Structure 1
Amino acid sequence: MYRARDVMQKRFHTLSPHMTIAEAIEHFKRASEEAHRRVFGMIVKDEAGRLVGMLSMYDVLLLIRPKHTQVWGIMTDIEVNGLFEVIAERAQSVHVEDLMTTDVITIKPDTHVLHILDIMIKKHIRRLPVVNEGIIEGMVYLSDLFYFLVDNLSPQGGGTH
């Protein structure tokens, strides 16, 4: 019986809610280099190690996207010269806690992999924090779950994980 503990990554990078978005972007870059794959979202935890949110690439892109496009329509109708500089300045003053998602779906270490799959598909989630008694123990990534499942469904059985 395969559980979250069997597929979760125990090494993962985290952010502080008090970091600026510019600092968080640097953490994303560093985490991607260390993981040898692109990191698209990170756990945000407080000083006690408790989960307080998640910051995703999408959250940062929403900050970068000019706000008035939502009102005026398409970008081709808007003068964009100088906007990038304004956005770069904003990234120095906006904090992770201002953008992060606080309503985070989590799983427990003993959550069955098929329940994890169901949650990820229904909620369109690519990563799920594994939390035990308030402490973050790991992260299940959709790509890791995919390969874990297909490896264990192969005719050879037993998988490579």
Structure 2
Amino acid sequence: MGMRALGSLLMVSSLGLLACGDPDPDFEAKREQWASARPQEYVIQTRFTGVAGSHMLYAVSADTIIAEYTSIKRFAEPEDWEETGDSPRVGDPVQALFDAAEGARRCDLREIEFDPKYGFVSIYYHDCGEEGGGEEVPCFAPDTTDVAVCMNQSGEP
């Protein structure tokens, strides 16, 4: 293979890795960033990618999920959200995102991105051969527990 072809191959390979985020993420450093930057209160919406497009919406205060909603509609409107009845309870949805992105050992982590300010996982995707999926965060609102701020943020195209 000539030098020009090798250079082109390396450039294309590098661009492919950049498109998928960090190919070898330092989860521990990002968890530490989240721990130091984490707001006392926040609202976060997560959406499963792949075949299942459902959403989860959480309001968190300290280490307690004080409100939890779900919607099975891919592009949820405010009236599509239903309270789960599972709150209040101790939990941190952001830690669950870290755990899920690091998990699925039988699959390849194909995409991972982190929020630049807070360090949480903003999107991840596992490729499991014929199937795959992940989660993304269409909405994160710090310093509030008002879930209405994220009910219209369903990641519509």
* TM-score normalised according to structure 2 size: 0.26
Normalized per residue, the structure richer in strand is: 2
Normalized per residue, the structure richer in helix is: 1
* TM-score normalised according to structure 1 size: 0.25
